[in-house]
């Protein structure tokens, strides 16, 4: 199940609000409270009352600042780390189905060291996104060697092949 950044942010804010931690910001408090015509006299305020109000406003501002920072951290984590393997797999599946399920497909992290020896290449493009740059190849047959890191975050392939570690031998589908 894929969770959007907006949904995660809403869940965090809802959780904080449900716990009774979320307080109105200083700006919204100030907008709702008219400014006094003259400064209030200290003698008109009960002892400890002014400090308590200032403390509540400071706490509210701090809670909102922390909440926003947490939301930013979560959004950053989602954009940069989460589901990188899903991203690579979706590139592979998209290329396979868009090519009529007739050709072999290789998606490789362009930062990896690799050696392609492919025949009948019908598509060769570099795709850049939040997870880096990947090379997408659609072809009839050939050999491909990944000299770098493997795993779904760095490469994905589909078609008619035999694999031995980082070496893949692709055959034609027809």
Instruction: Report the domain count for the chain.
Output: 2
14 and 49 share one domain: yes
Contacts of 33 (CB under 8 A, 6+ apart): none
Predicted local distance difference test score (pLDDT) of residue 139: 96
105 and 148 share one domain: yes
Predicted local distance difference test score (pLDDT) of residue 19: 35
108 and 150 share one domain: yes
Predicted local distance difference test score (pLDDT) of residue 32: 43
What's the CA angle centered on 144, arms 102 and 167, to 5 degrees?
Answer: 115
Instruction: Among 36, 58, 80, identify where a domain stops.
Output: 80
96 and 165 share one domain: yes
Compute mean pLDDT per 10 residues along the chain, 174 residues long, and list them: 42 37 37 42 45 57 59 56 82 90 96 97 90 93 96 96 97 92
Predicted local distance difference test score (pLDDT) of residue 164: 97
């Amino acid at each position: 199940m894929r969770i959007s950044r907006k949904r995660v942010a809403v869940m965090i804010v809802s959780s904080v609000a449900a716990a009774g931690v979320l307080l109105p910001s200083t700006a919204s408090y100030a907008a709702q409270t008219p400014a006094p015509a003259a400064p209030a006299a200290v003698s008109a305020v009960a002892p400890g009352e002014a400090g308590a109000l200032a403390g509540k406003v400071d706490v509210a501002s701090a809670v909102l600042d922390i909440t926003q920072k947490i939301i930013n951290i979560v959004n950053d984590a989602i954009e940069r780390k989460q589901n990188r393997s899903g991203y690579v797999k979706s590139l592979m599946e998209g290329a396979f189905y868009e090519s009529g399920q007739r050709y072999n497909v290789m998606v490789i992290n362009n930062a990896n060291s690799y050696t392609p020896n492919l025949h009948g290449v019908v598509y060769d493009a570099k795709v850049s996104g939040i997870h880096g740059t990947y090379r997408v190849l659609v072809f009839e047959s050939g050999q491909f060697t990944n000299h770098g890191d493997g795993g779904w975050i760095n490469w994905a392939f589909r078609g008619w092949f035999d694999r031995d570690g980082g070496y893949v031998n692709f055959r034609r589908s027809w």
